[in-house]
Structure 1
Amino acid sequence: MREPEFKVVDPRRRFLLWFVPPLAVFVSGLVVLLVSGHVTGPFRSVTVVRALFASKRDFFQDEQVKRILMARGYQVHVTPVGSRDLANKPDLDSYHFVFPSGHVANEQVKSRRAGKHVVPYRPFFTPVVLATFREYAEALVKAGAATRNGDLYYDLKMDEFKKLSDDRKRWRDYGLANENRITVQSPDPCKAYSGATLVGFFATAFGDEPPQTVEAAEKLAREVKPYVDAQGQAGDDMAPKYFVPEGRTHAVIAVIYEHQYIAYQLRQKSVDTERVLLYPEKQHQSTPELISFTPEGDRIGELMMNDPDLRRRAVELGFHSLGWNGETGADFGTYIASRGLPEPPAGAKGRVELPRAELFERMLDVVGECK
């Protein structure tokens, strides 16, 4: 009989037999990723940029915008604040850039930064509008204060709307089961630019010429004040209250930005024909400025103006894009039409001529009793 044979297997060989095949797969995949450039993503350096934002912070809080900026090597840290509070922040200089909503805050920021690095960028605009519900818009048509302008939009005559308040009219006077007076709900004009714009809207009912002196500004503010006070306690951002299913119980007419309405409609499976917009015959377009204080802020501003993905996303979020020379892009109307929405009458009527920044500031102080 043959004696049993014993085979000695080198453990290193066994290890190689087990390890080499997966290693080959890993190396092959790594080569592909390196060639395509994807593998460097997690190791790419990311610059964190700190910024103060008013109402347009929703753009930078959008997940797609975050991903686009991250792919470009930037992460924007959002600190929300009202436009007027933004302009008065004691630590303003500690941020890379700010993004207030309107010209008053823009001018205040630039004044505070006099002699320092200040570069403004204007990537888009959005009109300030009054959002309401179909039956209330039709009640205003019956009252002679509004006319229909397409399927979702109405023109609002501020002088006739003012008379409804003068006459203390209620919604029940025009066939609605609502005992409340006809008023507008807005954010606090002392803090939010949309609330401040309501002051400008009512001011047009007293004449087209903006005041040129402090005395004239204060006089006009005292005339406008009762119409803003009629809403009672001013709220915060009105859009979240307006768009919830029970929106009618929160705000029958709410001051919001057009882009908020357009973005809401684009999220729906079908057009919400119950929610409509009122455009005062003298419109106001909020043209926020991204005001940079640093090279990092400059880079974000340049991306906002040049990057095709960011500009496309701005339109998808309801903004009208602007070019370097202030020209309006044609992509807004084309895009929303492709989604079944009619183009709004932005800019079709006259525009609210707001007073100079320091005079409008004084008007807001009087109307809102700002402290």
Structure 2
Amino acid sequence: MIEEPGFTVVGPSKSIFRRKRFLLPFGISVATALAGVIALFASGTVALPFQGITVVRGMLASKRDFFQDPEVRRILMAHRIQVHVTPVGSRDIVHRDDLDTFDFVFPSGQSMAELVYRRREGKPTNPYKPFFTPIVLATYRDYAEALEDAKVVTAQAGGDGLYYDLSVPALIGVIRGGKFWSQFKRKDQSLLKNNNRIIAQTPDPCRTYSGSTYLGLVAFAENGNQVPAGEEAALRLARDIKPLFAIEGQHGEELAPKYLAPEGRTFAPVVVIYEHQYLAHQFAEQDRTGRPDRERVLLYPDAQHETVPELLAFTPAGSRVGELVSRNPDLRRRALELGFRVFGSGGSFDDSELAAHLRRRGLPTPASGLGDTEAWLPPRELFDKMIVEVGGCE
């Protein structure tokens, strides 16, 4: 006899969401995720896509590296601001036909800012000065040692071999004298194996503030630490120093990236840059390797010139950017991390915050860069004529 098949009725299985072994980890995950979302909303990060982002158009010279920094962009985005950067040379800013279409411009120095003011006479232009940085010359350790042998530079006490004081008249002397690198010794008494003439490679003075400022430093030194009195004297001085620049050949627009590149030595032994570009490189090198780059060093001119880039705002959106970069603590901190010197209370020149940041980094503080001897540039009209004479500007 065949038995009939039997079956058992079972109750419905529990949903995976109701099983005890699932509920505990699932609940913890949900709670963690929810806490994270709440934190992001509190910081404003998640809310950004749902809020209006203001795109601010800026025309910037060499200080565009500040606005192109990812951390600066993040801080500005937290304030719902995105800066669209148009890169140009400082002198090009003044002559742009579309100048008034931008929310702000950021020339690298005071004299260029004056020309922008003149072009916009009668129109709103609000100035902001977030930071400053001196013009310096940068080279490599063995070349600095050769210049020390030539009595052109002196190592700064306490600079740990990274900073030197530069006599501009002495540098002019070896350039005029047609001296070669191979004539001078390094610290180990060996001669440099470079048969090129000693020169300082400068950015194009017709287009860049750093190039024109170095021209002004040379003119100031060559004229006995005085600015020329009148047009005739200015043009005579310009013709006198022109050969010092003509031997360089073709000028570049921005020399710091080439100098700081791994193959930088093959480009030029000595270049004119801004101090902040060198310090930012040292901070990045420390972060990457745990130690500073000891092969690259700075030369501080004996008569110094502080470049004070002015952010000139033409619109309320531009003014908002100017307010933030001048006063926001996070942006001031980031400026220090990028090698800039920030202004003290009341807008005074002050290098104490940069010095403190260098100490925290375990790096020496340069003894120069903010001193008593300042190189004065000629009045704007005379200086323009000198730049055209030396640089052959179109």
Q: TM-score, normalised on structure 1?
A: 0.91
Q: Which residue of 2 aligns with 1:282?
A: 303
- Runs of 4+ in structure 1 over 6 Å off: 3-7, 25-28
Structure 1 residue 261: Cα displacement: 0.3
State the secondary structure of the residue aligned to 2:346: coil
Q: Deviations over 1:22-68 (max 9, x none)?
A: 99x97996687457525423212110000000000000000000000
Identify which of 246, 251, 256 aligns with 2:268.
251
Q: Which residue of 1 aligns with 2:188?
A: none
Q: Which residue of 1 aligns with 2:390?
A: 367
User: What is the CA–CA distance in structure 1 between the aligned matches of 2:282 and 2:139, rounded to whole Å?
Assistant: 14
User: What is the CA–CA distance in structure 2 between the aligned matches of 1:314 and 1:91, rounded to whole Å?
Assistant: 29
Structure 1 residue 348: Cα displacement: 2.7
User: What is the CA–CA distance in structure 2 between the aligned matches of 1:357 and 1:324, rounded to whole Å?
Assistant: 29
Structure 1 residue 246: Cα displacement: 1.9
1:155 maps to 2:165: yes
Identify which of 86, 91, 97 aligns with 1:79.
86
Matches within 5 A, 1:316-335: 316-323=337-344, 325-327=346-348, 328=350, 330-335=352-357
Matches within 5 A, 1:270-349: 270-323=291-344, 325-327=346-348, 328=350, 330-344=352-366, 345-349=368-372
Residues 28 and 314 (structure 1 numbering): CA distance in 2 closer, same or farther, change over 3 Å?
closer
User: What is the CA–CA distance in structure 1 between the aligned matches of 2:228 and 2:148, rounded to whole Å?
Assistant: 31
Structure 1 residue 206: Cα displacement: 2.5
Please tell me whether the aligned partners of residues 210 and 273 of structure 2 are also in contact (alpha carbons under 8 angstroms): yes
Structure 1 residue 241: Cα displacement: 1.0
User: What is the CA–CA distance in structure 2 between the aligned matches of 1:177 and 1:201, rounded to whole Å?
Assistant: 29
Residues 29 and 176 (structure 1 numbering): CA distance in 2 closer, same or farther, change over 3 Å?
closer
Identify which of 204, 207, 211 aligns with 2:228.
211
1:95 maps to 2:102: yes
User: What is the CA–CA distance in structure 1 between the aligned matches of 2:198 and 2:324, rounded to whole Å?
Assistant: 44
Q: Which residue of 2 aligns with 1:165?
A: 175
Residues 32 and 320 (structure 1 numbering): CA distance in 2 closer, same or farther, change over 3 Å?
closer
User: What is the CA–CA distance in structure 2 between the aligned matches of 1:29 and 1:247, rounded to whole Å?
Assistant: 48
Aligned residues: 366
Q: Which residue of 2 aligns with 1:195?
A: 211
Q: TM-score, normalised on structure 2?
A: 0.86
Percent identical among aligned pairs is 48
Identify which of 42, 55, 68 aligns with 1:37.
42
Please tell me whether the aligned partners of residues 138 and 272 of structure 2 are also in contact (alpha carbons under 8 angstroms): yes
Query: Residue 108 of structure 1 aligns to which amino acid in structure 2?
Result: L
Residues 114 and 154 (structure 1 numbering): CA distance in 2 closer, same or farther, change over 3 Å?
same
Structure 1 residue 325: Cα displacement: 2.8
Q: Which residue of 2 aligns with 1:220?
A: 237
Q: Which residue of 2 aligns with 1:65?
A: 72
Q: Deviations over 1:42-99 (max 9, x none)?
A: 2121100000000000000000000000001100000000000011111100000000
Structure 1 residue 326: Cα displacement: 2.1
Structure 1 residue 272: Cα displacement: 1.3
Structure 1 residue 161: Cα displacement: 1.1
Residues 142 and 44 (structure 1 numbering): CA distance in 2 closer, same or farther, change over 3 Å?
same
Residues 329 and 209 (structure 1 numbering): CA distance in 2 closer, same or farther, change over 3 Å?
closer
Q: Deviations over 1:132-183 (max 9, x none)?
A: 0111111111111111112211111111111112211001111211110000
Q: Which residue of 2 aligns with 1:123?
A: 130
State the secondary structure of the residue aligned to 1:370: coil
State the secondary structure of the residue aligned to 2:347: coil
Q: Which residue of 2 aligns with 1:356?
A: 379
Please tell me whether the aligned partners of residues 130 and 254 of structure 1 are also in contact (alpha carbons under 8 angstroms): yes
Please tell me whether the aligned partners of residues 104 and 361 of structure 1 are also in contact (alpha carbons under 8 angstroms): no
Q: Deviations over 1:211-252 (max 9, x none)?
A: 232222211111111111121111121111111222111010
User: What is the CA–CA distance in structure 2 between the aligned matches of 1:208 and 1:119, rounded to whole Å?
Assistant: 33
Structure 1 residue 255: Cα displacement: 0.5
Query: Residue 112 of structure 2 aligns to which amino acid in structure 1?
Result: A
Query: Residue 81 of structure 2 aligns to which amino acid in structure 1?
Result: Y
